[in-house]
Structure 1
Amino acid sequence: MDREKLIENLKSFAIALVLALIIRTFIVQSFHIPSGSMIPTLLVGDFILVDKVTYHFRNPDRGDVVVFHFPLNEDVYYIKRIVGLPGDKVQVIDGKVYINGKPCKYQPAGEYSYVENGEKVTGKLYYEFLPRKEGGVKKHLILKTGTRGDNTQVFVIPKGEYMMMGDNRNNSYDSRFWGFVKRKEIVGIARIIFFSWDGNKHLPRFNRMFKLVN
């Protein structure tokens, strides 16, 4: 009897393991945010769920927050926001994104502070409005803390590739510095923060749990 029970338990465990692997491979995957490049949208210590299904039914669009394999080291995952699609011409002028010669709309949204490496960083928030491929716009927050990356060349995005930028615009290592991301390198779209840990206070951020990623 004990042997039969052990076999049944092993079968149940094997089935659960296979289902977990299927879900992780094809449906959803969790990721941890290790850097501040997406502040204020995502904070260091956020744990997110990434939807790997949506892009089987539609193409990535401007404004999507996506996880992808870093082109210079595919073993490393990055998370950024898509600002440019295949065929787009993108340029940053005085901190504003221009897409195909047209500036995106911006609205001031107050100030924002965070602690990085023990030091307080303060900047200005803006709502950025990115035009969607199928119409409408994606309204989201960006943070400006300086001038790094505020003026660039015109980037012409090749077929099948995407331009990524962090929402913490002056503290993000992104497509402005290393180039574009191929479609096959995109893992999926970030959907929800399921847990968040404040490493400075050594406490959970309960107000961020189950928050949707905009």
Structure 2
Amino acid sequence: MKYRNEWLEWGKAILIAILLAVFIRTFVFSTSIVDGDSMEPTLQSGERIIFNKFIYFVGQPKRGDVVIIQRTHKNYVKRIIALPEETIEIRNHVLYINDEEYDQLYLPDDPAYLTGDFGPITVPENSYYVMGDNRAVSKDSRNGLGFISGDDIIGRSEFVIYPIKEMQIIK
């Protein structure tokens, strides 16, 4: 009888652990693989990242967040550049948001990462303007993805977990 109770307790503990893991994977954290060079130098193709699904249930995306965008055939990893109802423009490789210069500290000074002139463009309500950090090769709001609905943003990238030598917090 003692062994039966012990097995029952172990079974309960395992079931609770499995349910907790499923809950966390479904509603809190998930993983994604970076596909392509559009987020270099911040993220490299093939890196596995953990993204936070819960954060946008309790708050809104912020400028600079590296987000996961869900599309029918593929998810994209991009950086939020402009928020709903903001006006964005790039002149002489300088980003302006609502006519104020915005310093993109996440981009290196390398000329390869400079962005060509465009805009001004006003972001619609409940939409976001996103770009990859590697502006020269990124498919983003400028050239294919368009404005991103808040409903299509499924999480914020938090950590690179693979390869181990590249493990880091995403900024």
Q: Distance in 2 between matches of 1:181 and 1:146?
A: 22
CA shift, 1:43, in A, is 0.7
- Name 1:69's counterpart in structure 2: 70
Return the TM-score normalized by structure 2.
0.84
- Name 2:88's counterpart in structure 1: 90
CA shift, 1:49, in A, is 0.5
CA shift, 1:56, in A, is 2.3
CA shift, 1:103, in A, is 2.3
Q: Distance in 1 between matches of 2:131 and 2:45?
A: 17
Shift in CA distance, 151/75, structure 1 to aligned 2, threshold 3 Å: same
**Secondary structure, counterpart of 2:36 in structure 1:** coil
| 2:113–2:133 Cα contact (<8 Å) kept | no
- Name 2:152's counterpart in structure 1: 185
Give matches, 1:1-214, under 5 Å. 15-70=16-71, 74-105=72-103, 128=104, 139-142=105-108, 144-145=111-112, 150-178=116-144, 179-196=146-163, 206=165, 208-209=166-167, 211-214=168-171
Give the gaps of 5 or more residues in structure 2: none
Give the gaps of 5 or more residues in structure 1: 106-127, 129-138, 197-204
Q: Distance in 2 between matches of 1:75 and 1:9?
A: 41
**Secondary structure, counterpart of 2:85 in structure 1:** coil
**Secondary structure, counterpart of 1:20 in structure 2:** helix
Spell out, residue by residue over 1:32-60, the C-alpha distance to the aligned partner (whole angstroms, 9 max, x if none): 11111000110112111101122222211
Spell out, residue by residue over 1:7-36, the C-alpha distance to the aligned partner (whole angstroms, 9 max, x if none): 988876655443332112210001111111
| 2:107–2:113 Cα contact (<8 Å) kept | no
In the alignment, residue 157 of structure 1 is paired with which amino acid? V
| 1:144–1:168 Cα contact (<8 Å) kept | no
Please give the root-mean-square deviation of Cα atoms over the aligned residues, in Å.
Answer: 2.5
CA shift, 1:96, in A, is 2.4
Q: How many residues align?
A: 166
Q: Distance in 2 between matches of 1:190 and 1:24?
A: 14
Return the TM-score normalized by structure 1.
0.68
Q: Distance in 1 between matches of 2:23 and 2:123?
A: 33
From the two aligned structures, give the one with the greater strand fraction.
1
**Secondary structure, counterpart of 1:194 in structure 2:** strand
